[in-house]
Structure 1
Amino acid sequence: MADHDAESCSSQFIYDVFLSFRGSTRCGFTDNLYTALTNKGITTFRDDENLRVGDRIRDTLLEAIKRSRMSIAVVCQNYASSAWCLDELVQIMECSNKGTKRPVFPIFYHVDPSDVRHQKNQYDQDMKKHESRYGKDSHKVQAWRLALQEVSNLSGKHCKVHSYESEMIKSIVEEVSAKLPPEPLYIKHPIGFDSHFEAVESLWNIKSHNTICMLVIYGDGNKTTFVGELFNKFRHQFQAAIFLDKVSEKSRSVDGLENLQVALLYEMGVHKKPKLGSTLKGSSDIKQSLRNKRVLLVLDDVDDTEQLDSLAGGGDWFCPGSRIVITTRDANFLNNQVLDGFKIEKYCINEGEFDRMEALGSNQKQDKVVEEDMVGFENIFNDVTKQLKENDSRVDVISIIGMGGLGKTTLAKKIYNNEVKKLFSCCVWVTVSKDYKAKELLQSLLKGCGLWESIKGKDISEDDQKSKVQKFLEKKKYLIVLDDVWEPEVWDEVKCVFPKNNNGSAILITSRNDGVANYTGSRSYYPPLLEKDESWKLFCKKVFKGGECPSVLESIGRLMTEKCRGLPLAIITLAGVVGKKKRLTVEWMRIMRSVIWYLAKDNSKVTEVLKLSYDSLPQRLKTCFLYFGIYPEDYAIPVKRLVQLWIAEGFIQPPEIGISDGLEVEDIGEEYLNELVDRSLVMVAKRRSDGGIKSCRIHDLLLDLCISENRAEKDIVFCTEKDIRSLGNFKSCRLSLRGNDLDSFNQCDHSRIHSLMCFWKYYDIKNALINVTSFDSARILDFGDPAFGLSSQAAQNLGTFIHLRYLRLHQDPYLENHCDFICFLANLETLIVEENYDFSFELPHGIWRLKKLRHLEGWLRMTSKTAPPDMSKEECLPNLQTLQFVFFEEKLTMSSVVNGRFPKLRKLGLARDFGSECTEHEQLQGLHHLKNLEKLKLVDFGELPQAHEFPSNITKITITTSAFSYDCGIRYSYLNTLGDLTSLHVLKVTSPAAHRGDSLRFAAGSFPNLEVLHLTSMQVREWILEEGAMPSLQHLIIGDYDLDELPEQLWSLTNLQDVLVFAPNPALRNSLQRVKPKNGCKLILKRRDMVKMVMEL
């Protein structure tokens, strides 16, 4: 990707100089400096102090820095007291540290540079104030400290108290004028030749100051655009840079060569376009001006040696380290010429040459990358190479899938360049990339096969080109690598060219999108994030080049690498940052405090790679992905809650009537999340027993990307107790609240808050009261996890928030008696009353009027007073999806409550009320009326209905009983009744108070479609599994059992994949040592201390 800050591209500089200063210096020194710069003809940006109000002006200032060729920082005594100035300085230093290396000229005005560097005296006081506001370890404060240190190490001017300011300003203007970098060329449509720039850079060895290199670029490609971007990219590394275009055309006009010489001298600042009199005089002047500076000289479109002699002469014209680039249409130009003092390199820019380079890759370069960057993934490497070696029949398609920066391409290169490559008669590497074009992809294959030259320039159809590739590969054993495939459609474009010659050929695909692997039907490998030790190994390889880390730095270094969360690209980038610093504890500590800031800077390769994944998302997924920015770092996000929030925000629209086929918005939301997981933007933290995603996480660097993208729109605001009072400065927003300062929160204006998510830092606020008074436009209120209360005023006001879609709060005595406000929330879709063991929540009678309610969760009591009235189906809760957990008190039963009132209910949780006047069986009667019920949770029920009394579509049943009462233990005979449920896929039973000594018997033919079985904390002595029971079982988890052995029939189940046993007693452990599972089944034991032992027997 082209460097968008190389200024060659979409935008030119507007200003020569950006002037950063504190208001206290405005009337005096800064005014005089500004005037002197302007009089010198230097366009200078200076902001108007009266305009420093609001973020829009701040953005204007930061943009002005980006559009300035250099910056001057007037660093005075109270410079650090201003957050504005510090933000400016961070941006200035970022622009200075980027590839363009824009100069920064510091002026230390009446302040000692050492005070700035070490933040002493007034600087110490000011920075401590910032720390108290933003937090000592905040990225913002760390960035400010680093910027101050960096600017204090630069060469500038120290203006002392009694110095002559007029003389000082005159000297400053002269130095600034000399240091102003050359303006970049304006290129309307930049192409982005980054990979080719690397090749050029290796040819002319730009870092060497001992040689003078001339690079001749020839061919029929777009040479002018190429050298223009080359000039913009590298010009900052020279003391002077000159670009002369159309040399051939201009030299043929009257006095053409002399005019070109005048232009060159003018760019060097030697003449104001005088008449030279002759080209000989011009050559002499040019030689004199060039010999004392490292120069980049570009001569575009040269076709005659006379032009070269007049403008570039010989090596004695130039200072060592200079580079001369000429473009020509003549491939033989300079072939027979001897130019003293020049090292001459030639480079072809034919389009085909570049494409072939991309198609085949540079093996020499690949090998280097592999050796340095390959850590981890040994198992995948060995598996794939083994597969390639042993396959001698079908065509294998193998996919390596993972997030950007994980090392997929590096792993593929190691496989491609391994000795296994010798087994194939044709090997082709094709880089597909995000913005691929079918025609270019086909051309890359043709070039990789060596077929391009024979058809180049001929009128051959695309189908005929595909046919040529297919015929070429037909009798060969081939290895094709398709690197960086973004979409499944790529496979449709190329699969027809790969013949099924059954000789062990292979196609290796790398992608960020798991959908690609699924679409191609390939065997997939998913490289994991690196472990801590692997991360440290990779870091040390890059920083110490095979050496060892000093012991005094190791603990700091390991902490730094841990913050990369195992992402190889992040570790390599961090190593690049650290490698440029001195190996001192203080230097490493500074970086360690702000690792994510270093990695996520605008010019970071990490940000660039990760943002590509974000940019490729359709808009519907972009919105959902950015919502992850509302969560704290390393937060395990419950998927159920996340989808409910997306729905409440309006991100997910219901399917069109007539095509939904039972599809609900929750299903669409889960599909969106699966897409983000497939695209390697979201990580699975925990899966449900049915294979669905239960909770997820997002890598810290992707979280930072979410935050930065949201910050641009000021959509999500992050607030702590330190700055919560600043809410009034924000527009309507989604507020992610961190901290525990409820007093400040209660006093602030809530009217701008669209959504509130609380992530309280501490749990010492349980006696505090939330007092929300003005959430007029709020759609989401989530008051977090600690058990605090609602004030009476808050409860009254909540009933007026008519836009509210999602409400999550906590049970407390006040809520128990003042919950009628819920009945007035006509748009409410999700109500969660979080568990508090001291109280259950009695549903308000009017809740049945909430026609839009989809999810109702908590420990919910239902009495004859609060039960739904005997009303028609039209007056029930037509959209309710989830209802849990419900206690039926008095004479209420499931049958009396359901009665057709919840036609869409999918998930139900019932808790036994020991004070009920009905039996357990009576309480559960009526379940069969819930035609769409899929998941059922039962708490403290020891008896179960007959199979025909369960809904026919039920797929998952979870039974949990308390350890405190023998009466609530499950009776094992009732489990047998569940064996006739043909749709049941998951059964989970936890019953520590079960009837000790009972036998557990699963009859022949029972549980025909059960795939997952969890049996934990049960006092069963014997488990009998008759032949033909559970034929579809794949996963078995058992734990805290009195069993001495597992049934022998279990190991004959052909679909069984794994058996996980928690805390086996000695007898069971001994019996398992003798077991020999079949069909690749894994037996896994976990002790009580959760230390995992895996026995693949």
Structure 2
Amino acid sequence: MTEEQMDFLLLNLHHLSKYLTEQTQYEILHNVCGNMKDFHGLIVNGCIEHEIVEYVLPQFQLMAERVGRFLWDDQIDGESRLFKLAHLLMKIIPIELEVVNICFTNLKASTSAEVGHFIKKLLEICPDILREYLIHLQEHMINVTTTTASGAQNIHVMIEFLLIILSNMPRDFIHHDKLFDLLARVGALTREVSTLVRDLEEKLRSKESTDKTNCATLDLLENIELLKEDLKHVYLIVPDSSQCCFPMSDGPLFMHLLHMHLDDLLNSNAYSIALIKEEIRLVKEDLESIRSFFVNIEQEWYKDLWARVLDVAYEAKDVIDSIIVRDNGLLHLIFSLPITIMKIKLIKEQVSDLHEKIPKNGGLLVVNSPKKLVESKSLPVGKIIVGFEEETIWIIEKLTRGSADLDVISITGMPGSGKTTLAYKVYNDKSISSHFDLRAWCTVNQEYDEKNLLNKIFNQVNGSDSKLSENIDVADKLRKQLYGKRYLIVLDDVWDTSKCDELTRPFPEVEKGSRIILTTREKKVALHGKRNTDLLDLRLLKPEESWELLEKRAFGNESCPDELLDVGIEIAQNCKGLPLVADLIAGVIAGREKKKAVWLEVRNNLNSFILNSEVEVMKVIELSYDHLSDQVKLCLLYIASYSKDTGMIISGLIDLWHAEGLVEQTEMKSEEEVMKVYLDNLISSSLVIIFNEIGEYPTCQLHDLVHDFCLIKARKEKLFDRMSSSSPSSSSDLMPRIVTIDCKSEFFGLENFVLFGSNKRRHSGKHLYSLRINADNLDGGLSDTCHLRHLRLLRVLKLDHSFKVKDSLLNEICMLVHLRFLRIGTEVKSLPSSFSNLRNLEILSVYNKGSTLVLLPRIWDLVKLRILHMTSCSFLDMDTDEPILIAEDTKLENLRYLENLVLSYSKDAEDIFKRFPNLRILVFVLKESQDCSTKQHWFPKLDFLTELERLSVEFESSNDSDPSVGTNWLCNFHFPSSLKILSLGKFPLTPDSLSTLARLSNLEGLSLENTIIHGGEWNMTEEDTFENLKFLELDEVTLFKWEVGEESFPVLEKLELWRCCMLEEIPPSFGDICSLKTIKLVESPQLIDSAMKIKEYVEDIMGGDELQVVGRNNVPLF
């Protein structure tokens, strides 16, 4: 190729690098071609002897032709162009490596000014070229080899080491006269790696032995150690040490997070970790040793030492993470990491010396204990009390009637729900004061002096206020004072079971009808103290009760003016039913002018009134928060990373806790058991509200006020943050662990975010472990300027499905080896083979609407996968219905959830579910397949899935006119006895089929949709008993007549009938089911009369409004 042609190529490349989205890669291509042109010019001008470069000249011509063909091909679209560009760089950069080698070995001593100028230019641009090549080489390796291939791991480690050197190369800290030498060594190692990759790829393709290649890769590891030593002593200038300041407020919380982070890194199979795995182990062990010391001493004695521990711990995390994300990684690897390890060792030695000096009578302090005791709350004397009439009547009845034995009435509820107020209301009721001989009220909260508390109770029942002397047994005196009397003791705000036991031990259990009222935020305390009476879990105020409280506080006995009524009711609704908030806002509006403008101001600034109040609502919540362990605190704060009023499915929340790395595994319990304990603790503390609607997945959410508290706390600890595409982010070294980006269509442009910009050199993902991008009905793919490869610590990546992830970005995602949770939308027909690189992946959710995604064999490499959810997926080639080849022993042992698998009969599909032996939830579509030998539809046997609890199957008929009547052939079901929830759609069923379902002894929920019951009758015999069924839904079921026996549904709680237009009536015998709470009717008007008769029958029998009949959105029908 002539020099004029080369100039023309360079001119085109220059323009492309300015205007195309793949700007960085076109710059690389432009620089490589420019180097080749300049080097060729040196040869032509006689600056380089021809013999030296003779072997490389043909490669110049070939390179120029390849670049020319790429530029002239204007038929390539954006996605294909990216792949062709990457492929082109892979082909031509090795020629650049040869040029670097020639310059170092033959031209280093040249006195030619032209050669010197060329070498200077080469030094400027060579690091970027080498880095880009190694990144592509790494991605190429993932696609053509497996990480288990012999020698592959060592090659990956060397590539990682070279990329650390080349990324953000610290030129200011490299001896000027050594830069060329260093780049030459890096270039030589890159050439060696490139050769080994090609050799390994060829041998794997031809199925030859890779033993020699593996031996050669061992030399790479030796070269790493040699170069590290030379970097430290020859090439690099030692940087000045800088003091790292601890940026978080809660030391124990940070130390706990760091412990789990380091533990995860050590258990990781990522090649980026292999380079510093031993150093990570040393840091973890030493910090754990130091951490244990501060659990066993008074922290105040060693406050300065604890501050130093936190500083060096944060420094360790910063250094390790910086190396992994390649942010100034070279200096951190060579200097900072060894220095930090030495600092930790020095502190460890100091701590060991101090260990012997701790006074033996020193107090015990756990560093995550409550920071300070909050003052005891005063009794609600003179307080306006509204609501809880039914609860008041119930408690009074339990106090004055029933067994003569001592009984405990426990009131539980979230902070500020009115437990104390309700107890005080009952305590002062005239019927109670006249019923009991003695009464006493004791506010326990966090006071741990048992004797002092018992003294308070004794003084109240004795009518004195004296303090008993130290040598008097106050418990014995109290027991004698109460003996033979009918007494009522209120223990308000009890926090733990041991305190409950200590305080109730002196109360005599004579049969006088004595009672104890116990209020607590902790359900475990209430359950521990229970005797005969069930605990009362206090509900939130109804909107009308909140308004009553506001109205009475603002207007006394007068009524609210009409002009303030609407805004007043709106304010009441915004109190979200929490009495503490309602009372607080009532106090705000009571002291203000009774004008609409003033009240509107209160409505618009409700949160600020609450948060800035003298009552300091947040302190009330903080009491409960401080009593949680560090692990449980993190799980609570995580819930607040989602929007207010977001109901989270509990099973999904637990999965996210695990994916985020918030769960600490113990020797005694599995991670799943530990997570359930965390959830139980949160529920018990009343900080989390649980919704367990029959027939639905149990969900939970935070009250708005708890959400506000958690949001403030989490942002203070830099755990998470939220941003909008209308306000692009800026680079920060102190980014939170979790970032949520809300993209609005009018401001869409993720390329504005530092997180995604490929031309932003500053790494903003150093501390980022979780990225969630929400979208507002956006349509289209992510811009080609958006990159994710540098977010190398990501555990969770949730992209809204309206973003269509293209192949190039999909390949980048496959390099994020720490991913545990991945949710994406894409239009690809199959996942790339590089997906096997995501060996830590536990949850995979793919939105691929419009096509069935074929699961290739590499999916079986994801051995940690627990949840696999796709819009539609199959192990079959959808064109031929032939199965994708699967090895006989291949299984996904950890898979618990599989959704939207498309299945049809084939010789290999029969045992497909045997590959997932521990499934708990299964959703699949069954394409119509017939077994001529039995004249039945084929249905896979599932009875061996002994862990399966939820199953949803939809039948896809080959008959387009009516999916249920394409044939009279039926299915032979084989379900496991473990099944709890079953949904069948579009299946032709017979009474015999339904009898099979009735024999599922653990079945709690059954849904039949778009189903024809043959003959149109379902006559349930005595044998057809659904003994544990609580929820039954029939949706568009072809059923004319339904006969139900007395014991057909003995524990049914909810019956839903949707569009059952042919059913004549609801069987009257449903009125005899004592457990039935709700009948829901949607688009079935002919059933309303029979539902009404059943409701009237129940009211006559039960004497109350026990049965609700509702329509769509649970609106009562009458």
2:741 alignment partner AA: L
TM-score, scaled to structure 1: 0.60
CA distance in 2, matches of 1:57, 1:715: 12
CA distance in 2, matches of 1:975, 1:479: 55
1:891 alignment partner AA: S
Query: Aligned-pair distance for 1:1008?
Result: 5.7
Deviations 1:954-1004 (A, max 9, x none): 23322233xxxxxx444443111122223x231312323424752223332
**Please, which of 448, 452, 457 is the counterpart of residue 469 of structure 2?**
457
The structure richer in strand per residue is: 1
Deviations 1:755-789 (A, max 9, x none): 445463622445665844232111001123x5231
Deviations 1:245-264 (A, max 9, x none): xxxxxxxxxxxxxxxxxxxx
CA distance in 2, matches of 1:668, 1:601: 37
Deviations 1:820-870 (A, max 9, x none): 44332111000112473x333322321111111111112333234596755
Change in Cα spacing, 1:864 to 1:764, as seen in structure 2 (3 Å) is closer
Partner of 2:1090: 1068
Query: Aligned-pair distance for 1:1067?
Result: 4.5
Whether 2:829 is the aligned partner of 1:816: answer yes
Alignment of 1:633-644 (within 5 A): 633-644=644-655
Contact 2:248–2:717 (Cα < 8 Å) also in 1: no
Partner of 1:424: 436
1:954 alignment partner AA: L
Partner of 1:878: 893
Contact 1:755–1:778 (Cα < 8 Å) also in 2: yes
Partner of 1:485: 494
Contact 2:553–2:586 (Cα < 8 Å) also in 1: yes
Structure 2: runs of 5+ lacking an equivalent: 1-243, 250-369, 757-764, 957-963
Change in Cα spacing, 1:655 to 1:887, as seen in structure 2 (3 Å) is farther
CA distance in 1, matches of 2:782, 2:397: 63
Partner of 2:386: 375
Change in Cα spacing, 1:871 to 1:857, as seen in structure 2 (3 Å) is same
Partner of 1:397: 408
Whether 2:1019 is the aligned partner of 1:1001: answer yes
Query: Aligned-pair distance for 1:791?
Result: 3.0
Whether 2:749 is the aligned partner of 1:743: answer yes
**Please, which of 929, 937, 940 is the counterpart of residue 925 of structure 1?**
940
Alignment of 1:169-188 (within 5 A): none
Contact 2:773–2:798 (Cα < 8 Å) also in 1: no
Contact 1:426–1:478 (Cα < 8 Å) also in 2: yes
Change in Cα spacing, 1:1054 to 1:427, as seen in structure 2 (3 Å) is same
Contact 2:751–2:783 (Cα < 8 Å) also in 1: no
Query: Aligned-pair distance for 1:518?
Result: 2.1
Partner of 2:458: 446
Query: Aligned-pair distance for 1:1086?
Result: 1.2
Partner of 2:1033: 1015
Contact 2:901–2:923 (Cα < 8 Å) also in 1: yes
Contact 1:769–1:791 (Cα < 8 Å) also in 2: no
**Please, which of 754, 768, 791 is the counterpart of residue 754 of structure 1?**
768
**Please, which of 907, 914, 917 is the counterpart of residue 903 of structure 1?**
917
Query: Aligned-pair distance for 1:405?
Result: 1.0
1:790 alignment partner AA: V
Query: Aligned-pair distance for 1:580?
Result: 4.4
1:701 alignment partner AA: L
Alignment of 1:504-903 (within 5 A): 504-521=513-530, 522-601=533-612, 604-654=615-665, 656=667, 659-660=668-669, 665-687=671-693, 689=695, 694-728=698-732, 730-731=734-735, 733-740=737-744, 741-744=747-750, 747-749=753-755, 751-752=765-766, 754-758=768-772, 760=774, 762-765=776-779, 771-773=786-788, 774-784=790-800, 786-810=801-825, 812-813=826-827, 815-834=828-847, 836=849, 838-864=850-876, 869-871=885-887, 873=889, 875-889=890-904, 891=906, 895-899=910-914, 901-903=915-917
Change in Cα spacing, 1:532 to 1:193, as seen in structure 2 (3 Å) is closer
Whether 2:1107 is the aligned partner of 1:1083: answer yes
Alignment of 1:121-140 (within 5 A): none
CA distance in 2, matches of 1:572, 1:618: 31
Change in Cα spacing, 1:1048 to 1:475, as seen in structure 2 (3 Å) is same
Partner of 2:976: 951
* Larger relative contact order (CA 8 Å, sep ≥ 6): 2
CA distance in 2, matches of 1:1070, 1:582: 50
Contact 1:473–1:498 (Cα < 8 Å) also in 2: yes
Query: Aligned-pair distance for 1:418?
Result: 0.8
Whether 2:1004 is the aligned partner of 1:986: answer yes
Change in Cα spacing, 1:394 to 1:921, as seen in structure 2 (3 Å) is farther
CA distance in 2, matches of 1:862, 1:842: 5
**Please, which of 988, 992, 995 is the counterpart of residue 973 of structure 1?**
992
Contact 1:563–1:596 (Cα < 8 Å) also in 2: no
TM-score, scaled to structure 2: 0.59
Deviations 1:657-696 (A, max 9, x none): xx55xxx534543442233123211112453538xx6222
CA distance in 2, matches of 1:725, 1:191: 37
Question: Which range moves more in the overlay, 479-488 or 588-597?
Answer: 588-597
What SS class does the counterpart of residue 535 from structure 2 fall into?
strand
% same residue: 25
Change in Cα spacing, 1:752 to 1:971, as seen in structure 2 (3 Å) is farther
Change in Cα spacing, 1:946 to 1:864, as seen in structure 2 (3 Å) is closer
Change in Cα spacing, 1:677 to 1:389, as seen in structure 2 (3 Å) is same
**Please, which of 478, 483, 502 is the counterpart of residue 469 of structure 1?**
478
CA distance in 2, matches of 1:417, 1:805: 56
Query: Aligned-pair distance for 1:614?
Result: 1.0
Query: Aligned-pair distance for 1:1056?
Result: 5.3
Change in Cα spacing, 1:609 to 1:526, as seen in structure 2 (3 Å) is same
Query: How many residue pairs are counted as aligned between the two chains?
Result: 718
2:794 alignment partner AA: A
CA distance in 1, matches of 2:1047, 2:563: 64
Query: Aligned-pair distance for 1:585?
Result: 4.8
Query: Aligned-pair distance for 1:802?
Result: 0.2
Partner of 1:384: 395
CA distance in 2, matches of 1:727, 1:914: 55
2:1094 alignment partner AA: L
Contact 2:923–2:953 (Cα < 8 Å) also in 1: yes
Deviations 1:916-935 (A, max 9, x none): 99999665333122222222
Contact 2:576–2:704 (Cα < 8 Å) also in 1: yes
CA distance in 1, matches of 2:874, 2:587: 63
Contact 2:1031–2:1054 (Cα < 8 Å) also in 1: yes
What SS class does the counterpart of residue 1019 from structure 2 fall into?
strand
Alignment of 1:290-369 (within 5 A): 366-369=380-383
Contact 1:1025–1:1047 (Cα < 8 Å) also in 2: yes
Contact 1:772–1:797 (Cα < 8 Å) also in 2: yes
Query: Aligned-pair distance for 1:1049?
Result: 4.7
